[in-house]
Amino acid sequence: MKSYLGLVSEYAKVHSKKNRLTVVCIAISVMLVVAVFGMADMSVKAQINENIRQKGNYHAVIAGITDSTAGQIAGRSDVKVAGWVGMAEDTVFQGKKLRIQGGEQDIANQMNLVVSGGAYPASEREALLDRPALEQFGLSIGDTIKIALSDERKREYKITGTYNDFSSLKGTDSHGLYLSTEGIRTLPSEKRNIIIFSLKAA
């Protein structure tokens, strides 16, 4: 042995079993760390996907702006899609709570409201109604629904299409009437008019 480094090989020969155990322990530790971080990553992705499923896939919500400002936002090169969404006060139809919303079709799609039958409303007196509501109320696409709003006036809408139920509607035992942008803006009880937009991927 010409140097202290020679002790390494001698030690390895004498303690070969101990060395193998050390290597195995290190390998197991590395695998555990990888597994923990892998599970954490899966959990984060699952939470993101669930949030998108429940609330939609968009980046920002802006309230209290003019049509001109909204047009400038929509015209930006880094904006993928932008549009108006409005909400009116809830009402009751045949003893069930009815949420009233409306907006542009592109934004409705971003919020996971996809027409599963019929067509998206094109005029202010057309609307979508969730599928469970059609079944519960005995309505069909092409029928009309008459609802009373906060101004105590009744409005009649033609059902042009339907969409699948949301978990938020199921959780509150309520239904959803979705109007066109023109339809939601004509309601006197409109309480929120916002623009939602999604950015392009970098």
Instruction: For 139-167, write each residue's pLDDT tens digit.
Output: 999 999 999 887 778 899 999 999 987 66
Q: Parse the chain into domains and list their residue ranges.
A: 6-54, 60-199
Please, which pLDDT band fits residue 193 given cuts at 50, 70 and 90? low
Mean pLDDT to the nearest integer, 174-190: 85
Structure-token pair, residue 27: 């390998």
pTM: 0.72
Is pLDDT of 13 > 60? yes
Mean pLDDT to the nearest integer, 83-95: 88
CA distance 14 to 30: 26
CA distance 141 to 155: 17
Mean pLDDT to the nearest integer, 6-22: 69
What's the chain's average pLDDT? Answer: 83
DSSP code per residue over 61-96:
EEES--HHHHHHHHTSTTEEEEEEEEEEEEEEETTE
CB 102 within 8 A of CB 184: yes
Is pLDDT of 195 > 90? no
Instruction: For 27-77, write each residue's pLDDT tens digit.
Output: 999 999 999 999 999 999 888 887 777 777 778 888 878 888 888 888 888
